[in-house]
Structure 1
Amino acid sequence: MSPVSRRVLQAVLYEAIAIAVVGPALGFAFDQPKASTFGLAVVLSTIALAWNYVFNWIFELWEARQAVPGRSFARRLAHGAGFEGGLVVILVPVMSLWLGISPAAAFVANLALLVFFFVYAIAFTWAFDRVFGLPASAAKNPGAADA
């Protein structure tokens, strides 16, 4: 699989699952109509999809220059923290405007999403790598499986 198609597939699968989970959770948490919170989940996921592509491209450029190949737990933690940290900065203003709440309240609301997505990002990328193999930037040998 080419690096571009791999990143696109990874991002689309990640966001499709996220919308299915986050849309109903937002409706419940904010006691708002499901159509509104589903719409918000789609907007948030669309933004996250673009960020996912850009972040993974940057991360793989960095990763390819590392002396030790592969994706250790520490590297996966760095990946999750970098992705989610950047996403919080982008999404807080969107949530604030959509829900009509202060940026501080949107930040607090985003913390629950941050916890969910931090764990989800690590688990998803591990599972994705197990199913589709490591990208060339992380493979010990081309096509090698990750531990």
Structure 2
Amino acid sequence: MRSWKERVTHMVLFEVLGLAIVIPLSSVLSGHDTGAIGVMAVGLASAAMLWNLVWNRLFDIWVPTRRRSLAQRIAQALGFELGLLIATLPVVAWWLEIGLVEAFWLDLGFMLFFLAYALVFNTAFDRVMRRRLARQEAA
């Protein structure tokens, strides 16, 4: 089982790297101002960090191994993103003063980006942590 310290490290690294990529990309693709997208993205990232702690802790209980299959990784990422999409859709529409349909497409774009990003990031993070734990056990 992962410690809370490891989970917080995971969460912060995940969000900071993700925001650095998604803010300029979504601003260019959506045509919305970088500032408006940035503020919204930081707010969504804050909600995502809390959800990340909860979701990944639950997922660790359901799948208590660091060597997860591709299907398990996809389930982990998809469950996280779908839960977040449901919670954030009204906020995106309100903040950008757009309709729910446009907000859905924008939020879906965020979700698809973070779905792929989560798959890559979580796999890399676990590999790094396995190596780190192996070195600690060997010492």
TM-score range, shorter chain: 0.7 to 0.9
CA distance in 1, matches of 2:125, 2:75: 17
2:42 is aligned with what amino acid? Answer: V
Q: Normalising by structure 2, what TM-score?
A: 0.86
Q: CA deviation at 1:48?
A: 0.7
1:92 is aligned with what amino acid? Answer: L
SS at match of 1:133: helix
> Greater relative contact order: 1 or 2 (C-alpha under 8 angstroms, separation 6 or more)?
2
The root-mean-square deviation of aligned C-alpha atoms, in Å, is 2.3
Question: How do 1:70-89 residues align onto structure 2 when only pairs under 5 Å count?
Answer: 70-89=67-86
Question: How do 1:18-97 residues align onto structure 2 when only pairs under 5 Å count?
Answer: 18-64=18-64, 70-97=67-94
Q: In the alignment, which residue of structure 1 is the partner of 2:16? A: 16
Q: Normalising by structure 1, what TM-score?
A: 0.82
Q: CA deviation at 1:74?
A: 1.1
Q: In the alignment, which residue of structure 1 is the partner of 2:107? A: 110
- Cα distance change on mapping 1:2 and 1:88 into 2, 3 Å: closer
Q: CA deviation at 1:81?
A: 1.1
Q: CA deviation at 1:2?
A: 5.7
CA distance in 2, matches of 1:84, 1:37: 18
Structure 2 segments unaligned to the other structure (5+ residues): none
Q: How many residues align?
A: 134
| Mapped pair 1:131 → 2:128 | yes
Q: CA deviation at 1:143?
A: 4.6
Moved more, 100-109 or 42-51: 100-109
Cα deviation, 1:37-87, whole Å, max 9, x if unaligned, reads 1111111111111110110111111123xxx88311111111011111101
CA distance in 2, matches of 1:2, 1:58: 11
- Cα distance change on mapping 1:123 and 1:69 into 2, 3 Å: closer
Q: Which has the higher helix share?
A: 2
CA distance in 2, matches of 1:86, 1:47: 11
Identity %: 35
Structure 1 segments unaligned to the other structure (5+ residues): 135-141
